[in-house]
Amino acid sequence: MAIIYEKRDRIAYLTLNRPEVMNALDPETILELEEASQDFNNDPNSWVLILTGAGDKAFCAGADLKKLIPAMTSGEMKMELSSKRFFSDIYKPIIAAINGFCLAGGTEMIQGTDIRIAAEHATFGLAEPRWGLIPIGGSHVRLPRQIPWCRAMEILLIGDRISAQEALQIGLINKVVPLPELMPTAKRIAERICENGPLAVRTIKEIAVRALSMPMEQGFILESLMGQRVFASEDAKEGPRAFMEKRKPVFQGR
């Protein structure tokens, strides 16, 4: 299988499973990735997704050039499939556990996640222009919004790799940890998120993502409208009640 998709309690785990090619993306992997991510999105019992790669060398080294590029340049693979923005329609939290090379499509993929933890040996980069190509997984839109403009353009235009520490310094990732601590750290963060109200968490992410493409005043209106739905929910009653009763809230996501 090109991916491994598992669910444990409230956390889903999605592992890119092509370690022999550094978890590179081919058409089959992209389709399986889309199917698994939509299953996560539609499952009310899955609250957080952890995304990682198989092995200890690579998270994802980008496109499988032997399969993906010929399919795209020949027209056999529709461009809208290959350029679909990773996780763009998912408003549940996604944590990237970056276990090594995170290049080209790998760097694009993590831009669709919310919290990013990298192993110390991880490296990042968008080398597409060095081969006469461009990144088509959303980096032109996402990267300049996520890190300073000049650093984003340096990564996009030059195509050099950067280390995990440099990625941390520019704000592309949240933490750098030794490899043995990578998945435990990601799991702890996921478990912490799962302690919060799932409806509130999903709404927070949806507002933040949608407001990026809105004028500020429209974003405020969206926040108010969606906030009304949360404050009318059962979870919004359970939270204050649990606080008054000095116990942990039991949220239902409704």
Evaluate whether residue 249 is within a structural domain: no
Looking at the fold, whether 130 and 162 belong to one and the same domain comes out as yes
pLDDT > 70 in the chain, percent: 93
Asked which of 175, 194, 213 is the last residue of a domain, the reply is 194
What is the rounded CA–CA span in Å between residue 8 and residue 38? 17
Q: What is the pLDDT of residue 85?
A: 73
Tell me, yes or no, if 128 is annotated catalytic: yes
Pull the structure tokens for residue 171. 């704000």
Query: Is 254 a domain residue?
Result: no
The per-residue pLDDT for range 22-41, each reduced to its tens digit, is 999 998 999 999 999 999 99
Boundary residue ending a domain (194, 214, 235): 194
- Residues 145, 222 within the same domain: no
Is the same domain home to 166 and 237? Answer: no
Edge-to-edge, what's the strand order for the sheet holding 3-8? 3-8, 11-16, 48-53, 94-98, 115-119, 175-177
CA-atom Rg of the chain in angstroms? 19
54 and 146 share one domain:
yes
Residues 171 and 206 in one domain: no
Q: Which of 128, 166, 195, 206 is catalytic?
A: 128
> Is there a single domain that holds both residue 129 and residue 8?
yes
Are residues 139 and 61 located together in one domain of the fold? yes
181 and 206 co-located in one domain = no
What is the structure's pLDDT at 86? 86
pLDDT of residue 83: 38
51: in domain: yes
b/e burial code for range 147-171 (CB count within 10 A of at least 16 → b) = beeebbeebbeebebbebeebbebe
**pLDDT tens profile 163-199:** 999 999 999 999 999 999 999 999 999 999 999 999 9
Residue 68 has pLDDT above 80, yes or no: no
Whole-model pTM: value is 0.92
Does the pLDDT value for residue 154 go beyond 50? yes
Q: Are residues 187 and 239 part of one domain?
A: no
Determine which one of 108, 154, 191, 223 is catalytic: 108
Domain count, the chain: 2
Sheet with strand 58-60: strands edge to edge: 58-60, 101-103, 123-125, 162-163
191 annotated active-site: no
Asked whether residue 206 is domain-assigned, the answer is: yes
Question: Does 205 lie in the same domain as 188?
Answer: no
CATH number of the domain that residue 91 is part of: 3.90.226.10
Provide the domain limits for residue 211: 198-244
Confidence (pLDDT) at 252: 87
- Structural domain ending residue among the three candidates 177, 194, 211: 194
pLDDT exceeds cutoff 70 at 78: no
**Residue 229 and residue 110 in one domain:** no
Q: What is the CATH number of the domain that holds 215?
A: 1.10.12.10
Task: Note whether 203 and 135 are same-domain residues.
Answer: no
